[in-house]
Structure 1
Amino acid sequence: MDYIWLFMIGIIATTLGTLAGGGGLVSLPAMLLLGMPVHSAIGANKISNTFSSLSSFIMIYRRKGVSLKEGLKIIPISLAGGVTGGLIASMLAEEILMKIAIFLLIFAFIMSFVSKAPFTGNDHFYLNKQSAPSLFGIGIYDGAFGPGQGTLMLYLFSYLKISYYKAVGLVRVATFSSCFGAAISYIATGQIIWGLTLALLLGSLTGAQIGVRLAGMIKVSYVKVLLRLVTASLIIQMVVDMFF
């Protein structure tokens, strides 16, 4: 029965994560409620995100929503940020990381109201003095803590005047990069419960395909509302976790 639940959790979490980030809002609490040890749950999430994110990017690339050249620019920066974040996490208390996450999400939430035209541009992605440090910083955050990484990246690409569909593809390749190293470390340390992880992975691959198809149809005005709902949910969840 747990395998079926994890398959369904993978579908729901990855569909949401593909569209607006915040898939961890669904997957991690649900896995913990099923009795999975916390490190095994995080490891399962990293493995499923690695493969589902890559499949999403490939699908968007085949539909000419994003170029391979743009995707390859993301990988080294996100990977370096993820590794750096992992090192920083060993030196900082979880409470500090939680406060940083809440601050970043509140800032993004406020900026979503200031920005009046999200995802209306159709610019190519370039590495410059704005995009490179921002990507690296979000990669550090993802490696150190994680929740809301995809949501923050969508806000960044909106600011850079990149279309929503292309932004989804770029977020997914960044997620692949940052999760890949983490997945290897969890496998190497023997934290993975393979049967449950594979059930989540199959659901995540299915959710990735659903999410990409919905992303190609969703109206930009709805994206803004969805991003705000996910951001507000992340902030509430983190505040509750920190104080209760």
Structure 2
Amino acid sequence: MDLSLEVMALLVAVAALAGFIDAMAGGGGLLTVPALLAAGIPPAQALATNKLQSSFGSFSASLYFIRSGTVKLKSMWLSIVCTFIGAAIGATTVQHINADVLMSIIPIILIAISSYFLFSKSLSPKPDEKPLLSEAAFAFAIGTSVGFYDGFLGPGTGSIFAVCFVALGRYSLVAATARTKVLNFTSNIAALSFFIMAGLPIWELGLTMAIGNFIGARLGAKVVLGNGQKVVRPLVIIMSMTMALKLLWEQHPQLLQSIF
């Protein structure tokens, strides 16, 4: 598909902003997928191309957190494996099962996540506070299930991982965000593999947008480590509620029109 230089430049700029937001709270696809569709990309190719460019952003943020010492891959290897397997199964399953039922539940999950971050008094664990799940239990229960969800559908995956790390793993919000990006990158790669096998990504466009997403994600990761909870907490709330309202509008437009 031939796109003008102006449209390409705009898509790169959108990808950079999406990468910046994604590194802190997730939800960057709210910007990039509509932008790709508006540029005339068919839906299946838009989703695949978005996954291609966003993989570079999640890799950029993950690499920054790993190099800063915020994340130790050695302690996350089982979660990484389980997330990859879950995402691969999800990406396979979605090709054979109607996702409408699960799609209708997502707004409820996102509202619950934003409410948790909004009303929790503290998102920093106490020194003697033990996690509710061991590393292995977290990997099998959360890594596999959320990975499956990301491969199957995807909206709000970063927010779901973050709240699980905070509520069940008892990590600080900064540590949870860093670990979330590692598992986000894992599930992105798993799902992207299936898109590639289907020949769906538009490589030239996806790799061009990836430049912007990579830079934006790196800047977002720096903000997380520099400002931590002050920035991430309200952004997670805003992005979760925005995703929930977007999905509700798509599923039940008359309901929202009657409310607003």
| One-letter identity of the residue aligned with 1:62 | R
User: Within 2, Cα distance between the matches of 1:120 and 1:17?
Assistant: 24
Aligned-residue identity in percent: 25
Which whole-Å deviations, capped at 9, do the CAs of 1:171-218 have from their partners, x for residues lacking one? 111111111122122222222222211121111111111111111112
User: Within 2, Cα distance between the matches of 1:218 and 1:168?
Assistant: 12
Aligned to 1:143: 151
Q: 1:212 to 1:43 in 2, by over 3 A?
A: same
SS where residue 167 of structure 1 aligns?
helix
User: Within 2, Cα distance between the matches of 1:152 and 1:117?
Assistant: 18
Is residue 2:241 matched to residue 1:232? yes
Q: Residue 49 of structure 1 contacts residue 175 of structure 1 at CA under 8 Å; is this kept in 2?
A: no
Structure 1: tracts of 5 or more residues without a match: none
User: Within 1, Cα distance between the matches of 2:236 and 2:16?
Assistant: 19
Aligned to 1:206: 215
Aligned to 1:164: 173
Q: What is the CA RMSD across the aligned residues, in angstroms?
A: 2.1
How many residue pairs are counted as aligned between the two chains?
Answer: 244
Is residue 2:158 matched to residue 1:153? no
Q: Residue 102 of structure 1 contacts residue 238 of structure 1 at CA under 8 Å; is this kept in 2?
A: yes
Structure 2: tracts of 5 or more residues without a match: 1-5, 254-260
4+ residue runs of structure 1 moved beyond 3 angstroms? 119-126, 128-132
| One-letter identity of the residue aligned with 2:217 | A
| One-letter identity of the residue aligned with 2:31 | V
Listed as ranges, the matches of 1:85-124 within 5 Å are: 85-120=90-125
Aligned to 1:215: 224
Q: Residue 95 of structure 1 contacts residue 242 of structure 1 at CA under 8 Å; is this kept in 2?
A: no
Q: 1:66 to 1:75 in 2, by over 3 A?
A: same
Q: Residue 79 of structure 1 contacts residue 178 of structure 1 at CA under 8 Å; is this kept in 2?
A: yes
| One-letter identity of the residue aligned with 2:189 | F
Name which of 7, 14, 20 aligns with 1:9: 14
Moved more, 108-117 or 179-188: 108-117
User: Within 2, Cα distance between the matches of 1:82 and 1:147?
Assistant: 13
